[in-house]
Copies of this chain bind each other. A is one copy, B any other.
């Protein structure tokens, strides 16, 4: 399928992997998708979905594949980008394994996850206070949260966490959960509406209280890259 690499003299023998930090909003909290490993090393420990890149497979394809086979996520990621490559020598006891870490955003409704592949469990966990993680995955997660917070503020990645139509209070919850802080309702509303990236639609009656206006993303999407 491709020519085999002409590796020179003493290039390192490395394994190339991808790991995926998949975020979603559940119960007003920023959550991350974790799998419970079924194999050594770190069997029965929670870890990020991930694995080795296969021949003829692009990096982002490998990330998608791992997400789909290690868990049963029902929806497509709304956003997927590589954000850092972890290659420190001792990071994996099996040898020199370099992992290109990816950040994914899953839309609301991707709640049903099941284990698949070599995993014996899959579940959403609080992103800010996760369980103990295998390998250097805590470090990877922390860096992913940092990147997500950056992206939130200046590319409007928050919309990708919600269904197609949503209310402003729902959007505010996304900002608050990712930023881990409360925001003022009036200022938030002013700022978001003045950006002109939202268009209203019909109304909606939630369980209790006054019904909220529904919005959707405007035509002029601008999810700026880096």
How far does the alpha carbon of A8 sit from the alpha carbon of B6 in the complex, in Å?
21
Would you call A7 an interface residue if the criterion is a C-beta within 8 Å of the partner chain's C-beta atoms?
A: yes
CA distance A93 to B87 in the complex (A): 24
A 13-37 binary contact with B (CB < 8 Å = 1; else 0): 1111000000000000000000000
Chain B hits for A82, CB < 8 A: 84-85
Q: How far is the CA of A52 from the CA of B8 in the complex (A)?
A: 8
Q: How far is the CA of A11 from the CA of B51 in the complex (A)?
A: 9
A16 touches B55 (CB 8 A): no
Which of A54, A58, A87, A146 has the most B CB atoms < 10 Å from its CB? A87
Identical chains bound together, number: 2
Stretch at the interface among A94-102, A161-169, A176-184, A196-204: A94-102
Inter-subunit contact A12/B89 (CB<8 Å) = no
Determine whether A147 belongs to the interface, using a CB cutoff of 8 Å to chain B.
yes
Q: Do A95 and B13 touch (CB < 8 A)? A: no
Taking the complex as formed, is A207 at the interface, i.e. its CB lies under 8 A from any CB of chain B? no
Consensus secondary structure, chain A interface: loop
Assess whether A132 is interfacial by the CB under 8 Å rule.
Answer: no
Q: Report which residue of A8, A12, A55 has the largest number of chain B beta carbons within 10 angstroms of its beta carbon.
A: A12
Q: What is the chain B residue whose CB lies nearest that of A83?
A: B226
CA of A54 to CA of B96, assembled, Å: 11
Q: List 25 A-B pairs, Cβ < 8 Å.
A: A2-B89, A2-B95, A3-B94, A4-B13, A5-B14, A5-B96, A5-B97, A6-B95, A7-B52, A8-B52, A11-B15, A11-B16, A11-B52, A11-B53, A11-B54, A12-B53, A12-B56, A12-B57, A13-B55, A59-B98, A82-B84, A85-B85, A85-B100, A98-B98, A98-B100
